[in-house]
Amino acid sequence: MTSVTFAPTAAPVAIPVREVLPWAVFAGLVLMIALYFVGAEEGATSLIRGMYVHEFLHDGRHLLGFPCH
Amino acid sequence: MVGILLTRGMLVGFVAGLLCFGFLKLVGEPQVDRAIAFESAMEAREKPGAGQPQHDHSAHDHSMHDHSASATPKSAEMAKDEPEELVSRSTQAGLGLFTGVTVYNTAFGGLFALVFALAYRRMGDFDARTTSALLAICGIIAVYFVPIMKYPANPPAVGNPETLGMRTAFYFAMIAISLAAMIAAWMLRNRLLQRHGGWNAALMASAAYFIVVICVALALPEVNEVPDAFPAVVLWQFRIASAGAQLIMWTVIGLAFGALAERAEGSRNFLRLKTARY
């Protein structure tokens, strides 16, 4: 443990959960919604009426591996 | 710190998205076109009367809609509610593909950064770049390769619209279980580390992960909706294109984000390397 004595500030520590949590919750939610729109909106479930989102993202949805229709 | 990592993750994801788009445009789109051509040919054979140009399926291939359209061909109500060509093929293969792929990649880059923020120095005694690379390797296995072994990516013309909800639920369940098993396996590895050393702990944790996901994959119902006459080569090449795009995304994110995270920790004293707490 001598290295700790010589470099007291150098020890790499995890980012405290308290600091990560708000980011993880809010940004995580927004990003998951983005993935939902790319992957499943107007497919398995639908928030918006019509088929425009489905048709627009059609090719990407297939090629990214989502069940499309 | 987390904000910086998140921004960098999304940036790296966007760049990965541009590369993925280029790759899918060149390698993936020809397979999509071939699958749609097959679907049109099949439909023309099934109902020779319905093979009119306005219904040639070049615009879109949503079978659910097609069935209703063939039952009441071009009723006024239908034409108003659902125009035949909602989005043209060129838009689907261009701007649509671009939007889908870049949003998907950017979102994954951001989520990757958030996971990194939690995993760094908790996953084990690894520096930032190693953590990032390990997360990418475990990520592509848990989120893509294991789930598609059970529920592979399918081109247009494959898949019954009536089972879409069920298939989507199974696919997402497979991803969620696989991801949870991967996280549990890492925790197991860290518990075994002291007693069995790095190699054996990692091997035991890997074995545990694969036993779990194989059992789950065997337990979940099988889906096979590939039409009998569908060309095997198109199916194979479509799936290779899909896997290639994922490989590009995870490689770019894993390597580039690691480099940027290392620089972020250099500028801040926060995530310095060298001495280990573990």
What residues of chain A lie within 8 A of the CB of B61, using their CB? 58, 69
| Interface check A63 vs B, CB under 8 A | yes
Please compute the mean of the pLDDT values over residues A15-37 and round it to a whole number.
Answer: 94
Decide if pLDDT at B136 tops 50.
yes
Q: What pLDDT, on a 0 to 100 scale, did the predictor assign at position B46?
A: 80
Contact B155 A15 (CB under 8 A): no
Q: Which has more pLDDT, B161 or B233?
A: B233
Of B86, B104, B121, Cβ closest to residue A64: B104
Q: Which pLDDT does position B273 carry in this prediction?
A: 44
Lowest mean pLDDT: which of B62-66, B171-175, B190-194, B247-251? Answer: B62-66
Mean pLDDT of B80-92: 71
B46 token code pair? 């099934």
A17 Rama class: left (phi>0) / alpha (psi -120 to 50) / beta: alpha
Q: Decide: B148 and B121 in contact? Cβ < 8 Å.
A: no
Shortest Cα distance, chain B CAs vs residue A31, angstroms: 5
Q: Is the pTM of this model over 0.95?
A: no
Instruction: State whether B92 and A20 contact (CB < 8 Å).
Output: no
Instruction: Please say if the pLDDT value at position B81 is more than 50.
Output: no
Q: Does A12 contact B at CB distance below 8 Å?
A: yes
A26 located within any domain: no
A42 touching chain B per CB within 8 A: no
Q: How far apart are CA B50 and CA B80, in angstroms?
A: 20
Q: Which residue has the higher pLDDT, B88 or B57?
A: B88
Say if A44 falls within a structural domain: yes
Number of independent structural domains in chain B: 1
Is the pLDDT at B63 greater than 70? The verdict is no
pLDDT grade for A47, boundaries at 50, 70 and 90: confident
Chain B residue closest in CA terms to A57? B96
Residue with the bigger pLDDT between B192 and A43: it is B192
Confidence bin at A12 (pLDDT 50/70/90): confident
Residue B173 forms contact with A (CB below 8 Å): no
For chain B, count helices (H), then strands (E): 11, 0
The pLDDT-based confidence of B55 (bands split at 50, 70, 90) is very low
| Better pLDDT: B267 or B101 | B101
Confidence (pLDDT) at B53? 46
Q: Is the pLDDT of residue B115 over 60?
A: yes
- Does the residue B33 lie in any domain? yes
| Domain-embedded: residue A7 | no
A35–B114 C-beta distance less than 8 A: no
Answer whether residue A13 is part of any domain.
no
The predicted structure's pLDDT at residue A5: 54
Q: What distance in Å separates the CA atoms of residue B250 and residue B140, rounded to the nearest whole number?
A: 6
Backbone angles phi, psi at A41, to 5 degrees: -60, 140
**pLDDT band (50, 70, 90) for residue A68:** confident
Higher pLDDT, B207 or B69: B207
Sign of torsion over alpha carbons B164, B165, B167, B172: positive
* A12 contacts on B by Cβ (under 8 Å): 121, 127, 265, 271-277
- N- to C-terminal Cα separation, chain A: 60
Is A52's CB within 8 Å of B86's CB?
A: yes
Query: Are the C-beta atoms of B161 and B62 separated by less than 8 Å?
Result: yes
Residue B242 and residue B28 in contact, taking contact as beta carbons nearer than 8 Å? yes
Assess contact for B265 and B271: CB atoms under 8 A: yes
What integer pLDDT is reported at residue B118 of this predicted model? 96
The identity of residue B113, as a single letter, is A
Tokens of B132: 């990032």
Average pLDDT for B190-205: 96
Q: Residue B10 is part of which domain span?
A: 2-158+226-267
Q: Decide if B153 contacts A62 (C-beta within 8 A).
A: yes
Taking 90 as the threshold, does the pLDDT of residue A32 lie above it? yes
CA torsion angle for A45, A50, A55, A57 (degrees, to 10)? -50
Would you say how long chain A is, in residues? 69
Across the A:B interface, residue pairs with CB atoms under 8 Å apart total 188
Domain count, chain A: 1
Q: In which band, very low, low, confident or very high, does the pLDDT at B269 lie, cut at 50, 70 and 90?
A: low
d(CA B86, CA B147): 32
Residues of A in contact with B171 (CB under 8 A): 66-67
Tell me the shortest Cα–Cα distance from B73 to chain A, in angstroms: 19
Residue B51 pLDDT > 60, yes or no?
no
Chain B positions in Cβ-Cβ contact with residue A52 (cut-off 8 Å): 86-87
Q: Is residue B218 domain-resident?
A: no
Task: Over range B150-175, report the average pLDDT.
Answer: 92
**Which token pair is B176?**
């969620």
Least confident stretch, B59-73, B147-161, B246-260: B59-73
Question: Chain B window 60-89: which residues touch A at a Cβ cutoff of 8 Å?
Answer: 60-65, 82, 86-87
Beta partners for residue A45, in sequence order:
A41
The alpha-carbon gap from B111 to the nearest alpha carbon of chain A, in Å, equals: 6
The single residue listed with the structure tokens 């838009």 is B91
What is the rounded distance in angstroms from the CA atom of residue B184 to the CA atom of residue A60? 31
Instruction: Select the residue of A39, A40, A56 nearest B87 (Cβ to Cβ).
Output: A56
Q: Please list the residues that pair with A41 across neighbouring strands.
A: A45
Residue B18: phi, psi to the nearest 5?
A: -65, -45
Residue of A nearest to B168 (CA): A67
pLDDT at B275: 44
Largest Cα–Cα distance in chain A?
Answer: 67
Whether A25 is covered by a domain: the verdict is no
**What average pLDDT does the structure give for chain B?**
86
**Statement: residue B144 has pLDDT above 50:** yes
Residue B172 located in a structural domain: no
Provide the 3-class DSSP secondary structure of residue A45. strand
Q: Is B101 a domain residue?
A: yes
For A50, the token pair is 């019509």
Backbone angles phi, psi at B47, to 5 degrees: -130, 90
**Residue B195 lies inside a defined structural domain of this protein:** no
Average model confidence (pLDDT) for chain A? 84
B26 at the A interface (CB within 8 A)? no
Domain that holds residue A50: 34-69
Residue B47 located in a structural domain: yes
Contacts of B175 (CB under 8 A, 6+ apart): B142, B143, B147
The answer to whether A39 faces chain B, any CB pair under 8 Å, is yes
